[in-house]
Amino acid sequence: MKYSGWPDPGELVVGKIDEIEDFGVFVDLEEYRDKRGLIHISEVASGWIKNVRDHVREGQIVVCKVLEIDEESQQIDLSLKDVNDHQRSDKIQEWKNEQKADNWMGIALGEDVDDETYTAIANELITEHGSLYDGFKQAAIHGEEALENTDLSDDEIESIVDTARENVSVPYVNVTGYVDLENPSPSGVDGIRTALEAAEGNGEVPDEVDLEVSYVGAPEYRIEVQAPNYKTAESQLEESAQRAVRAIESEGGSGEYHRERRTDDE
């Protein structure tokens, strides 16, 4: 996907060098449709330059800063020397991410999707989440909820979420807590089992969360949660423990949630 229109002054852009002259370098902008910029020799590198080709080569992918734009003369002035290594690395990664997202759009919508439909859906994701990549990332983490404020159809949302969860690698965090469950009432072990099933969520844990409950040593049980962020992980951990405590108390037993392990090491 390439943007229509023009980049803004000060923006970092990715381009491919396609022509080198004594006075500077011409660059095809990879992110903008039919846009070409010029890096004057004075903006290629700091200091005096004897030969431009000592610093760049044709076909090279570069990150440039937009200096000035003259739409009337169709000219974009760029600088290579004003981009530091950190900016270059971040921008290249962002560009690669958008290329991935472009491929995911093809998977979600079908390779024969028309340009108008593609653009409309892409604009919805960009408007809601800032970029195509972040739109797919949020869909992978939060599912349909991430796209509920868009104008996409249910089928489009489902297709995007399915594609995101098949293709997007998202960071996850792991948290662990413990719950002590005791049940001297007649329901005994069955009451404990009911409390453990409640801790596991009875099928109501969000899709983006993995939650497991395991036995540590009587009366202690471990709750392990994997989630996209600490806020969600901590919330799901506490809710799991609370469900277990409520369930065991309803059976006539008692429960207590704590973060540190109390039984001897296994």
Kindly state the average pLDDT of the residues 92-100: 95
**CA distance linking residue 256 with residue 251, whole number of Å:** 14
Does 265 score more than 70 pLDDT?
no
Angle at 261 between CA 255 and CA 264, to 5 degrees: 110
Of the chain, the percentage scoring pLDDT greater than 70 comes to 98
| Residue 179: exposure state from Cβ atoms within 10 A (0-12, 13-18, ≥19) | buried
Q: Across the chain, what does the average pLDDT equal?
A: 92
Task: Give the strand pairing for 220-227 and 36-40.
Answer: unpaired
Q: Hey, what are 180's tokens?
A: 């002590």
Q: Which residues pair with 30 in a beta bridge?
A: none
pLDDT score for 1: 66
266: pLDDT strictly greater than 50: no
Q: Give how far the C-alpha of residue 263 lies from the chain's centroid of Cα atoms, to the nearest Å.
A: 38
Pick the range with the lowest mean pLDDT from 10-24, 76-90, 111-125: 111-125
Q: What is the pLDDT of residue 128?
A: 95
Confidence at 264, pLDDT banded by 50, 70, 90? low
pLDDT at 10 over 50: yes
Q: What value does the mean pLDDT take over residues 33-51?
A: 93
pLDDT tens digits, 167-199: 988 778 889 999 999 999 999 999 999 999 999
